[in-house]
């Protein structure tokens, strides 16, 4: 474990030597944060789009009123759609979590840089406005609150799909038409 820590420390030191100044490192960190945030937004948007289509298909299939096979149809198709929604939710979590972790790592590196190099030396007057009142650029973690939507969305949809799937089965067992 100590070897891994040494390897990571050496790698970070080598990366620090690539940049000519701390300001370049800060700019690089911010571009990486921006890239990962865009990637996270894209993943979240794609996930929400897929869930929207599944939800529409689920609602449409539950509205089937065919007297001959409607009851069985309302059991099979919506249950399969609910299972698909639950599976896609479970598969979305690792990718969204990975993006969150990378963003958190870059924010931590940025905070360390600002703490060691001094934020006043790195930031011009107009750049310091990026950190709102009450934010501490060297350790503020408000960004985590903004990322919670992306982290929680698959959990919420997964829970809803589990409830809707159970609801379909209960309706079939009770025999509600």
Whether residue 11 has pLDDT greater than 70: no
Whether residue 14 has pLDDT greater than 90: no
Query: Residue 141 domain-assigned?
Result: yes
Residue-wise DSSP of 59-76: HHHHT---TTTHHHHHHH
Query: Residue 152 domain-assigned?
Result: yes
44 — pLDDT class (breaks 50, 70, 90): very high
Residue-wise DSSP of 94-160: HHHHHHHHHHHHHHHHHHHHHHHH-HHHH--HHHHTTS-TT--TTT--HHHHHHHHHHHHHHHHHHH
Cβ–Cβ under 8 Å, residues 147 and 100: yes
Q: Tell me which range, 1-5, 64-68, 118-122, is most confidently predicted by mean pLDDT.
A: 64-68
Query: Residue 56 domain-assigned?
Result: yes
Cβ–Cβ under 8 Å, residues 47 and 88: yes
Domain of 98 in residue numbering reads as 44-62+69-174
Q: Looking at the 3D structure of the chain, how many domains does it have?
A: 1
The pTM for the full model equals: 0.74
Average confidence score pLDDT of the chain:
82
Query: Residue 102 domain-assigned?
Result: yes
Q: What is the mean pLDDT of residues 68-78?
A: 84
> What does the pLDDT read at residue 81?
96
């Amino acid at each position: 474990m100590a070897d891994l820590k040494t390897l990571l420390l050496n790698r970070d030191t080598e990366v620090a030597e690539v940049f000519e100044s701390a300001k370049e490192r800060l700019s690089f960190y911010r571009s990486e944060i921006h890239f990962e945030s865009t990637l996270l937004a894209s993943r979240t948007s794609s996930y929400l789009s897929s869930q929207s289509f599944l939800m529409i298909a689920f609602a449409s299939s539950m509205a089937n009123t065919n007297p001959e096979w409607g009851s069985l149809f309302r059991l099979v198709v919506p249950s399969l759609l609910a299972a698909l929604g639950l599976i896609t939710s479970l598969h979305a979590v690792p990718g969204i979590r990975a993006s969150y972790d990378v963003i958190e790592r870059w924010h931590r590196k940025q905070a360390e840089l600002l703490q060691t190099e001094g934020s006043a030396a790195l930031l011009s007057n107009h750049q310091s406005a990026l950190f709102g009142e009450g934010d501490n650029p060297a350790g503020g973690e408000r960004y985590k609150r903004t990322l919670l939507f992306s982290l929680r969305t698959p959990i919420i949809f997964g829970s809803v799909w589990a409830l809707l799937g159970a609801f379909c089965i209960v309706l079939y067992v009770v025999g509600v038409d």
